[in-house]
Structure 1
Amino acid sequence: MSPEQVVLPYSTWPSPISTSGVARSGLRLGFPTTLGDEVWWTEDRPTEGGRTTIVHRSADGTHHELLAAPWSARTRVHEYGGRSYAVVPGEGVVFTNFGDQRIYLLAPGAEPRPITPEPELRAGLRYAEMTVHDGLIWCVQERHHPDGRVSRSIVSIPLHGEAEPRERVSGSDFYASLTISPDGEHLAFVCWNHPRMPWNGTELRVTRLSDGSSWTVKGGSAESVLAPQWRDERHLYLISDWSGWWNLYQVEIHGTASQALYPVEEEFAGPLWQLGALPYAVLADGSLAVLHGQGDLRLGVFDPGSGVLSDLDVPYDGWDPVLATDGHSLVAIGYGPTLPRSIVRVDTMTGQVEELRRDVDVLPDTAYLPRPQAVEIEGRFGRPVHAFVYPPSNPQARGEGAPPYVVFVHGGPTGHSTSALDLEKAFFTSRGIGVLDLNYGGSTGYGRAYRERLRRQWGVVDVEDSVAAAEWLAGKGLADPERIAIRGGSAGGWTVMAACCASSAFAGGVSYYGVSSLLPFNETTHDFESRYVEWLVGPADPALYGSREPLGRVAGVTCPMLLLQGLSDPVVPPAQSQAFADALAERGVPCTYLTFEGEAHGFRRAETRSAALATELAFYQQIFRA
Structure 2
Amino acid sequence: MNNSAIPGSWKSPLSAAMLAGAATSIGYTQVADGELYWDEIRPHEGGRRVVVSRQGDFLPAPWDAKSSILEYGGLSWLVIERGGSPALVFCNKSDQRLYLLEANSEPIALTPEPKEARSHRYAGMLQVGNEIWCIREIVEGHDCQRDLVAINFYGKLRVLESSSHFYMHPRLSPDGKHLTWMAWEHPQMPWDGTELRIADISKGELTNIRTLAGSTEESILTPEWANNSELYYISDSSGWWNIWKLSLDGAKEHIVEESAEWGMPMWQIGQRFISVLDDGRLLSIHGTPDNQRVVIVDPKSKSCTDVASPFTAFNATQSIDGDKAYIIAGGAKSPTALVEIDLATAKVVNTIWETTLPVSAEYLTTPRAITVPGKNGRLVHAILHPPQNPEYSASGAVPLLVTAHGGPTSQVSATAKLSFAYYTSRGIAVVDVNYGGSTGYGREYRNALRGQWGIMDYEDVLSVVDALVADGTADKSKVVIKGGSAGGFTVLNALVMGDVFAAGASYYGVADCETLATDTHDFESRYLDSLIGPYPERKDLYVERSPITHAERLSAPLIIFQGLDDKVVPPAQSEAFRDVCVRKGIKHRYIAYEGEGHGFIKATSIIDSLESELTFYGEVLGFTPAL
Consecutive unaligned residues of structure 1, counting only runs of 5 or more, are: 58-62
Question: In structure 2, do the counterparts of structure 1 residues 229 and 215 end up closer, same or farther at CA, with 3 Å as the change threshold?
Answer: same
Does residue 67 in structure 1 map to residue 59 in structure 2? yes
Aligned equivalents of 1:251, 1:301: Cα separation in 2: 19
The 8 Å contact of residues 488 and 507 in structure 2, kept in 1 or not, is answered as yes
The 8 Å contact of residues 56 and 65 in structure 1, kept in 2 or not, is answered as yes
Alpha-carbon shift at residue 472 of structure 1 (Å): 1.0
Question: In structure 2, do the counterparts of structure 1 residues 69 and 213 end up closer, same or farther at CA, with 3 Å as the change threshold?
Answer: same
Does residue 407 in structure 1 map to residue 402 in structure 2? yes
Aligned equivalents of 1:325, 1:482: Cα separation in 2: 51
Aligned equivalents of 1:613, 1:520: Cα separation in 2: 28
Q: 2:186 aligned to 194, 197, 200, which one?
A: 194
Which amino acid is the alignment partner of residue 103 of structure 1? L
Aligned equivalents of 1:79, 1:234: Cα separation in 2: 35
Q: Which moved more, 1:18-27 or 1:458-467?
A: 18-27
The 8 Å contact of residues 339 and 348 in structure 2, kept in 1 or not, is answered as no
The 8 Å contact of residues 216 and 254 in structure 1, kept in 2 or not, is answered as no
Structure 2 residue aligned with 1:493: 488
The 8 Å contact of residues 367 and 416 in structure 2, kept in 1 or not, is answered as no
Does residue 305 in structure 1 map to residue 332 in structure 2? no
Structure 1 residue aligned with 2:226: 231
Alpha-carbon shift at residue 623 of structure 1 (Å): 1.7
In the TM superposition, 1:136-147 aligns within 5 A as 136-145=131-140, 147=141
In the TM superposition, 1:559-578 aligns within 5 A as 559-578=556-575
The 8 Å contact of residues 298 and 317 in structure 1, kept in 2 or not, is answered as yes
Deviations 1:259-300 (A, max 9, x none): 110111111110010001111211001001110012142101
Which amino acid is the alignment partner of residue 593 of structure 1? Y
SS class of match (1:341): strand
Q: 1:207 aligned to 181, 195, 199, which one?
A: 199
Aligned equivalents of 1:162, 1:618: Cα separation in 2: 53
Q: Which moved more, 1:482-491 or 1:88-97?
A: 88-97
Which amino acid is the alignment partner of residue 351 of structure 2? E
In the TM superposition, 1:514-553 aligns within 5 A as 514-540=509-535, 541-553=538-550
In the TM superposition, 1:117-132 aligns within 5 A as 117-132=112-127
Deviations 1:519-551 (A, max 9, x none): 211222111001111111112244221211100
Question: In structure 2, do the counterparts of structure 1 residues 91 and 579 end up closer, same or farther at CA, with 3 Å as the change threshold?
Answer: same
Aligned equivalents of 2:216, 2:67: Cα separation in 1: 28
SS class of match (1:232): coil
Structure 1 residue aligned with 2:255: 261
Alpha-carbon shift at residue 129 of structure 1 (Å): 0.9
Does residue 316 in structure 1 map to residue 311 in structure 2? yes
Which amino acid is the alignment partner of residue 592 of structure 2? T
Structure 1 residue aligned with 2:353: 357
Structure 2 residue aligned with 1:383: 378
Q: Which moved more, 1:90-99 or 1:298-307?
A: 90-99
Alpha-carbon shift at residue 558 of structure 1 (Å): 2.1
Structure 1 residue aligned with 2:327: 332
Does residue 438 in structure 1 map to residue 433 in structure 2? yes
The 8 Å contact of residues 168 and 212 in structure 1, kept in 2 or not, is answered as no
SS class of match (1:244): coil
The 8 Å contact of residues 514 and 543 in structure 2, kept in 1 or not, is answered as no
Q: 1:580 aligned to 572, 577, 580, which one?
A: 577
Aligned equivalents of 2:33, 2:24: Cα separation in 1: 25
Does residue 161 in structure 1 map to residue 158 in structure 2? no
Deviations 1:470-513 (A, max 9, x none): 11110111000111111000100000001111121111111100
More strand by proportion, 1 or 2? Answer: 2
Structure 2 residue aligned with 1:460: 455
Which amino acid is the alignment partner of residue 181 of structure 1? S
Q: 1:513 aligned to 501, 508, 513, which one?
A: 508
The 8 Å contact of residues 374 and 387 in structure 1, kept in 2 or not, is answered as yes
The 8 Å contact of residues 109 and 155 in structure 2, kept in 1 or not, is answered as no
Q: 1:288 aligned to 278, 282, 286, which one?
A: 282
SS class of match (2:226): strand
Aligned equivalents of 1:310, 1:205: Cα separation in 2: 30
Aligned equivalents of 1:99, 1:367: Cα separation in 2: 41
Structure 2 residue aligned with 1:419: 414
Deviations 1:209-264 (A, max 9, x none): 21522000100010000000001111110000001110000011242x21110111
Alpha-carbon shift at residue 352 of structure 1 (Å): 3.7
Which amino acid is the alignment partner of residue 514 of structure 1? G
Aligned equivalents of 1:468, 1:362: Cα separation in 2: 34
Structure 2 residue aligned with 1:60: none
Aligned equivalents of 1:470, 1:584: Cα separation in 2: 25
What RMSD over aligned residues (CA atoms) do the two structures have, in Å?
Answer: 1.3
Alpha-carbon shift at residue 557 of structure 1 (Å): 2.1
Deviations 1:95-124 (A, max 9, x none): 110011111111122111111111121111
The 8 Å contact of residues 19 and 358 in structure 2, kept in 1 or not, is answered as no
Consecutive unaligned residues of structure 2, counting only runs of 5 or more, are: none
Alpha-carbon shift at residue 380 of structure 1 (Å): 0.8
Does residue 617 in structure 1 map to residue 614 in structure 2? yes
Does residue 184 in structure 1 map to residue 180 in structure 2? no
Which amino acid is the alignment partner of residue 42 of structure 2? R
Q: 2:554 aligned to 554, 557, 574, which one?
A: 557
- Provide TM-score, normalisation by structure 2: 0.96
Aligned equivalents of 2:320, 2:379: Cα separation in 1: 37
Deviations 1:301-332 (A, max 9, x none): 10011110010111212211111114432110
Which amino acid is the alignment partner of residue 527 of structure 1? D
Deviations 1:155-212 (A, max 9, x none): 1111x2131x211111111000100111111110000001110001000010112152
Aligned residues: 613
- Provide TM-score, normalisation by structure 1: 0.96
Q: 1:175 aligned to 167, 172, 178, which one?
A: 167
SS class of match (1:488): strand
Alpha-carbon shift at residue 612 of structure 1 (Å): 0.2
Aligned equivalents of 1:342, 1:401: Cα separation in 2: 35
Q: 1:396 aligned to 391, 394, 398, which one?
A: 391
Aligned equivalents of 2:249, 2:489: Cα separation in 1: 43
Does residue 41 in structure 1 map to residue 33 in structure 2? no
The 8 Å contact of residues 44 and 53 in structure 1, kept in 2 or not, is answered as yes
The 8 Å contact of residues 150 and 158 in structure 2, kept in 1 or not, is answered as yes
Alpha-carbon shift at residue 400 of structure 1 (Å): 4.3
Structure 2 residue aligned with 1:451: 446
Aligned equivalents of 1:534, 1:347: Cα separation in 2: 45
Q: 1:17 aligned to 14, 18, 25, which one?
A: 14
The 8 Å contact of residues 404 and 484 in structure 1, kept in 2 or not, is answered as yes
SS class of match (1:357): strand
